[in-house]
Structure 1
Amino acid sequence: MREFGYQRVFDVPDALAFGADPEARYLGGGTNLVDLMKTGVDRPALLVDVRELPLDRIEATDSGGLRIGATVTNSDLAAHPEVRRRYPALAQAVLAGASGQLRNMATVGGNLLQRTRCGYFTDSSQPCNKRIPGSGCPAIKGEHRNHAILGASEHCVAVHPSDMSVALAAFDAVVHYETADGPGELPLAEFYLPVGDTPHLETALPSGALITGITLPPAPVAADSRYRKVRERASYAFAIGSVAAALDVRDGAVREVRLAFGAVASRPWRAREAERVLTGGPATPHAFADAADTELAAAEVLPHNRYKVALVRNLVVAMLTELAEEAAR
């Protein structure tokens, strides 16, 4: 591991001053960053510890949504009564995301910025376009069972590992940040960049920007939501497929639906085509399957990850059917 400096900060201006160094990294819980430092994938010269910043609150917004500070821990986020009541899929996603020990350390801001767990990315002896642009993507012809089926490119087929971000995508979350030039915000739909031919560019955050929080807009449909994750073992593991779903049914018809997929793309995948097909139509398993098929028609599978198409389709049908049945009781 490279020698590095350490600086604890207590206010945002100080954090930005130290974070302006291109070789600095902001340190929250460190549950991903420290692992990458140990393997030599990330080699910062300075860690700027932001855990003491006053960004650890969850508050209602004037519009009826929620604002979640960047240093809120995953454990506190999942346990918060308003999150559990108004956005249950988000609480479920966070609880599915890691062990209790990690959730106690990991922060909301860090969760957004965690890097892929692709084995070629985390092994510094291997080529990887995300780690070394232009070096190649060995996963395409190598081990890719858990890799992307949507939105990938010839340059990268890695998937984003966050569970939390999948639920946030379903509920149109907005990411807030600070820079030396002032505050800014990005809808989560624009926060993560498409892979294209620049997989090393993962977010639209300006250089040196510090994430300060996330806003969830009011979404009554989110109260009837859930998150389901499939993994290769029941204990702590990353998803091989996941779905965040919310459904509002009136008189047997879909009035509103939210769907987002995880572990299928380099970013949380908002299933807008499926939502479009479902809205106004019947709330039936057949309609749910047709909507999933419409969304997944764009899938580009590799020899060993084609199972994900059926997996996600079945998740969508099962979850929406359960939500529709609950609404009919």
Structure 2
Amino acid sequence: MGPPERTILGSKASVRRPKERLEREERPRRKITVLPTGRQFAVVRMDPLAMVSHLDLDSVAIEEASAIKPKKYLVYLDAPQDLPLPQSQWCRFWVQPVATTLRPAVPEEGITSDMVLPIHPNTQYAKGRRLMNCTPQFPFPHCYLWIRSMMSLRVRTKRGVDVYDNDKAMTVSIDSHVAFMSAWNEDSRRMFALRRAALSSLSGQTPSSEGKLRKSPSPEVVQPNAEHSPSFATLSIPPPLRIYRDGSASSDDEDTSQASDDAESPHAPTLPPIPPLMALAIDTDVFGWAADPKVPFVPLVDLWFELEDHLSPDNIPSPVELWREQETIGA
């Protein structure tokens, strides 16, 4: 055996044995983060009181929020919508709620109950598509993702001792996630064709004249397929978000008017124009930093990776119930 490897750190010599260095390099690092990393299954629960307690709402609204008893839901974290800052308390994520039934049909929108994607080990209604897999294996046997069920959630950040241990998460590989992104292609084409046919039958026109038809409003409530879906009337898609107005619009208008007057003053400084690419980046809001009046009503949730500690195959709520909770808090 040769002599131990020697390295120089500053002015001091240190001895590092190759075997010890190799063991340290091979030791897996724990993926500890203040936010989840996406492409993971998780359990979430909304916190209605935290969503409204800091808003300028009356006591009745606060009491109604306190009366909501939120359930825990199983979701697939698709991707973050924001670039969180160090002081951020939450980050918006695109998520897909997980269901144990087929999707409620919405004939007016061309949506049929079989427009679902099974999550392995479930293989029903795969229709030749690659099944969604994760590592370790998904623990629940009869789960689906529904077409047109994507919604936004605000996931709380965790710091200090209480952080997200991503090693505990059931993670979807990148290639499986990419396959999932294109899994709805055929169903989407069929959905649009059925919707065109439904619009044509209502208007008495043929599908070829679809360009002249106006889009009909989406129904808020539909009757689901009784055989495969919950036995109650359901929302067809995630409800639209309410816009929060805090009463500061008048003061904002005054500030804008004052700024305009100042700009017209002959003594006002001349500012260079914003470069077109920078203006486009600002308008696009690529980092998610622009003020959005709908954000207060994006569900704020706690999140856990230990799926079986919080849910079992028999008590996974329907995505429709999550949509109802969101609709209630924004009513």
Look at both structures and tell me which one has the larger radius of gyration over its CA atoms. 2
TM-score, reference length from structure 1: 0.22
TM-score, reference length from structure 2: 0.22
